[in-house]
C-alpha cells in the first residue's frame, strides 16, 4: 500500500471522481460538469489521480477519456485482508489482555499471558 493512494482519495472532489468513474469512463468535461467544478480543477485532480496510478487516460481526438485502473483497488482489497480479523474473529484473547492491563496496575509480578 502506497500512501499516495490514500492521499489521492482523501480529497473530496477526487473521491467523487473515482465514484463517478466506477460506473463508466468519462471525459474531463463530463467530470467537471457532473461535479460542478471548473475544468482546470478537474484536470488538476485527474492529474493527481493519474500520478497516483488510480486512473488511466486514453486520447480521443482532443478529448481525454479517464477510466479507473484496477491495481490500486485490488491492492487496497488485499491490504484489508489482514484487518478482517478485527470484525471476523471473536477477539476474546485481546479483550482479555486489555482487561488484565487495566486491572493490573503494576504488571511486574503477575504475568497472565
Partner DNA sequence: CCATTATATTCCTTTACAGGAATATTCCGA
Partner DNA sequence: TCGGAATATTCCTGTAAAGGAATATAATGG
Q: Name the site residues for a second copy (rule: CB under 8 A).
A: 1, 3, 6-7, 9-12, 15, 22, 24-25, 58-61, 65, 67-70, 73-74, 76-77, 80, 82-84, 86-87, 94, 97-98, 101-102, 105
User: How is residue 22 written as a grid cell?
Assistant: 466506477
**76/43 Cα distance (integer angstroms):** 25
Region of residue 13 (phi > 0: left; psi between -120 and 50: alpha; otherwise: beta): alpha
Q: Which does 68 bind (CB under 5 to 8 A by kind): a second copy, DNA, none?
A: a second copy
Q: From the list 18, 21, 46, 68, which residue makes contact with DNA (rule: CB under 7 A)?
A: 46
Min dist. Cβ of residue 79 to a second copy (A): 9
Amino acid at each position: 500500500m502506497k500512501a499516495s493512494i490514500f492521499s489521492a482519495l482523501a480529497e473530496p472532489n477526487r473521491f467523487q471522481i473515482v465514484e463517478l468513474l466506477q460506473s463508466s469512463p468519462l471525459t474531463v468535461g463530463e467530470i467537471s460538469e457532473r461535479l460542478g467544478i471548473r475544468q482546470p480543477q478537474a484536470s488538476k485532480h485527474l492529474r493527481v489521480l493519474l500520478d497516483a496510478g488510480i486512473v488511466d487516460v486514453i486520447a480521443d481526438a482532443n478529448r481525454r477519456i479517464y477510466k479507473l485502473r484496477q491495481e490500486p483497488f485490488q491492492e487496497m482489497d488485499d491490504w484489508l485482508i489482514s484487518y478482517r480479523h478485527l470484525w471476523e474473529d471473536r477477539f476474546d484473547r485481546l479483550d482479555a489482555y486489555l482487561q488484565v492491563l487495566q486491572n493490573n496496575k503494576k504488571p511486574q509480578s503477575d504475568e497472565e499471558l
